[in-house]
Structures are given as structure tokens and as C-alpha cells.
């Protein structure tokens, strides 16, 4: 009880603090009750069609419930939804295993999560082998597609960015300058422009008959762009490691790459973890622009559902859809943020005691 009491005392510790506290309380009293009326008490939860939400000035959760399968899976065949669930469960188990303190060797677990799992997920979702029915990427959509783009980009941008960060610090001028040029160019380009190049202009420069899947081009564009952002974050982490750490590792007989891999890079990743998570959250939010590539991700499916003539009954449908989209993105991004705090505490010297 000491922390709540201390907090309350700080809220009224001075006339200015007391005034700010009263203003915030007044704002909460005037906004929270109407919000709960709109979102919960007066909202439409059950029904069979859009007629149940007509002339109701509140959230229409019936719209979300009836479109839920499409929101999650897009146009993925209903009979194959088990493949998405299996893929998600496998990834979750792998992530929990990697985070478990029981697992001592994190290197192999990380390689399995970043290399083996994407291949497994791609085969499972795409199909066409091992008796799995082929599912074209044009049928992928919804929250599944959003997570595929985000997780692939994070998994590929992190090692690529690490390589770029090391190349930029290389003592070989050609390697360092090439890395600097690539990073500066990619950071100077807007992601929308890069995606436009990958989707619209790329087919014009390849030989006739050569086709690259639109989703593959999108994933490559996301990876190339965010790798440059990740490289600068990791380079800052490397520069934060005292030079004495590297010299101590060399004095123990380790080679340059052994000293970097065993001493410098682990400390750099720990220092750069907040920035890495910040980039990961940005990647998650950037996925919404793949709609311009003709792919209907989570937000795209919601927007497509809003133009259905059966649901053109008022602003409550649009308000509910966008509020639900914001809520889902907030939950995912907030969870990433809190997980990073947990990892920071575990990796800190105080957390290891």
C-alpha cells in the first residue's frame, strides 16, 4: 500500500500538481463513462445481420463477429485453417522455449527460430509438397498476412542488420564504404517508394517470362529497408561496449571474430535491445502499407469489409472496425514492449542475482 499512497501524495504535493490532477480527473469522468456506454453497455453483441446494428449509436461488435474468420485468415481456404494454427502454435512454442531459462544454449535455439522455422512455416502455409494442397499467396490475408510480413521482416532484418553494422565498422575501406552507402541510401528512401519500386517497376527490368511473386517482392523490400534501420541501432550498441572488452578477449587468445561473437556482440545486443524492439514495433505498424501492393492484410480486410453494401448502415460500423484494428495493434505492440522490458531485466546484472 505504500506505493499507491506515495503516488497519491505526489499528485497533491503542490498546487500545480493538485490542479493537474483535478483536470485529469475531470477529463476521465467526462470521457470514460461515455466510452464504456459506446463500447460495452449499448453495443450490439448478438444478431444475424447488419439490420441488428441499424440506428444504434454504439459499437457494432456483431460486424467483427460475423467477419472474424475473414479478419484472421483473409481468403485462405477454410479447410486449411489448421495449417495456420499449427504454424502459429509451433512458433509460439519455439519462442517460449527460447525464452525459457532451462535452455542454456540460446545460439542453436535462435538459429532454429530464425532459419528453420521460416522455412517450415513457408512450406506449411504455401503447400504444394508433402501432400499439402497448394494455396496461392494471393489468397493470404487478414491478421495472418500481417504477422507473416512482420515476423519475416524482423527475423531477416536482424541478422542482415548485424552484418551491415559489422561491415560499416570494418577496417577495409571498400567494405565499410559500401555498407555506409547502402545504409544511407535505404534510410533516405521512404518505405512506400521502395515498395512501389518492388511491385511496379521491378517487373519492367527483368527478362520476359521471369516472374517473382508479389508477396516475395514485398518481403524483400521490407527486409532491405529495415535491415538498414536495424544496422544503425546495432552499431550504436557495438559502440557502447568499452574497447577494453574486446582487448581483454584478444588477450585471452581469441581471434577477432571469436572476440566479437563471444564478447562484444552479446553485450551490444543487450545494449541495443530497446532500439531493436522499437524497430520491431515500427515494422509491425508498417505492414499496413502492403495494401498498395494489392494484398489485403488485417487492416485491408477491415477496409474491404466496410464497402460491403450490406454494412453501409452508418458510421458505427466504420468506428467499430477502426477501433478494433487499433486495439489489436496496441495489444501486439504493447506486448512486444513489455516483453523487451522483461528481457532487459533478465539480462541486467541485478536480474541475474
N-to-C CA span, the chain: 26
- For residue 256, the model assigns a pLDDT of 82
The answer on pLDDT for 353 being more than 50 is no
**Helix, strand, coil share (%) of the chain residues, nearest 5:** 80, 0, 20
Which tens digit of pLDDT belongs to each residue from 250-294?
888 888 888 888 888 888 888 888 888 889 999 999 888 888 877
Q: Rounded to 5 degrees, what are φ and ψ at 98?
A: -65, -35
Strand (E) or helix (H) holding 129: none
Distance CA 80, CA 125 (A): 9
Query: Which domains does the chain carry?
Result: 2-41 (no CATH), 70-76+135-347 (1.10.3720.10)
Distance CA 259, CA 272 (A): 18
Residue 201 has pLDDT above 50, yes or no: yes
136-157: pLDDT as tens digits: 888 898 999 999 999 889 888 9
Q: Give 100 or 37, the one with higher predicted confidence.
A: 37
How far, in Å, CA of 2 to CA of 246, rounded?
45
Measured distance CA(82)–CA(86) in Å, rounded? 6
Length of the chain: 353
pLDDT digits (tens, 9 = 90+) for 239-260: 888 888 888 888 888 888 888 8
- Find out whether 255 and 273 touch, Cβ atoms under 8 Å: no
Amino acid at each position: 500500500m505504500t506505493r499507491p499512497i506515495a503516488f497519491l501524495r505526489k499528485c497533491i504535493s503542490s498546487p500545480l500538481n493538485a490542479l493537474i490532477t483535478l483536470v485529469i480527473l475531470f477529463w476521465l469522468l467526462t470521457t470514460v463513462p461515455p466510452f464504456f456506454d459506446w463500447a460495452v453497455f449499448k453495443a450490439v453483441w448478438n444478431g444475424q445481420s447488419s439490420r441488428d446494428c441499424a440506428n444504434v449509436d454504439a459499437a457494432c461488435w456483431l460486424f467483427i463477429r460475423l467477419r472474424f474468420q475473414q479478419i484472421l485468415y483473409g481468403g485462405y481456404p477454410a479447410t486449411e485453417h489448421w495449417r495456420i494454427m499449427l504454424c502459429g502454435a509451433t512458433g509460439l512454442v519455439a519462442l517460449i522455449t527460447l525464452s525459457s531459462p532451462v535452455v542454456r544454449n540460446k545460439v542453436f535455439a535462435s538459429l532454429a527460430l530464425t532459419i528453420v522455422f521460416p522455412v517450415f512455416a513457408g512450406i506449411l502455409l504455401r503447400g504444394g509438397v508433402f501432400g499439402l494442397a497448394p494455396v496461392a499467396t494471393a489468397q493470404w490475408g487478414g491478421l495472418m498476412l500481417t504477422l507473416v510480413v512482420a515476423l519475416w521482416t524482423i527475423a531477416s532484418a536482424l541478422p542482415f542488420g548485424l552484418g551491415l553494422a559489422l561491415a560499416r565498422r570494418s577496417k577495409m575501406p571498400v567494405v565499410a564504404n559500401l555498407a555506409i552507402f547502402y545504409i544511407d541510401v535505404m534510410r533516405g528512401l521512404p518505405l512506400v517508394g521502395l515498395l512501389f519500386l518492388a511491385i511496379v517497376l521491378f517487373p519492367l527490368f527483368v527478362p520476359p517470362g521471369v516472374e517473382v511473386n508479389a508477396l516475395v517482392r514485398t518481403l524483400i523490400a521490407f527486409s532491405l529497408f529495415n535491415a538498414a534501420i536495424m544496422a544503425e541501432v546495432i552499431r550504436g550498441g557495438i559502440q557502447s561496449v568499452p574497447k577494453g572488452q574486446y582487448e581483454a578477449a584478444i588477450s585471452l587468445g581469441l581471434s577477432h571474430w571469436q572476440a566479437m561473437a563471444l564478447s562484444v556482440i552479446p553485450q551490444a545486443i543487450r545494449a541495443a535491445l530497446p532500439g531493436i524492439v522499437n524497430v520491431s514495433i515500427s515494422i509491425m505498424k508498417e505492414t499496413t502499407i502492403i495494401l498498395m501492393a494489392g494484398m489485403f492484410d488485417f487492416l485491408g480486410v477491415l477496409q474491404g469489409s466496410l464497402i460491403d453494401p450490406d454494412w453501409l448502415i452508418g458510421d458505427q460500423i466504420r468506428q467499430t472496425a477502426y477501433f478494433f484494428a487499433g486495439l489489436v495493434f496496441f495489444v501486439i505492440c504493447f506486448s512486444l514492449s513489455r516483453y523487451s522490458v522483461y528481457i532487459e531485466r533478465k539480462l541486467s546484472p541485478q536480474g541475474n542475482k
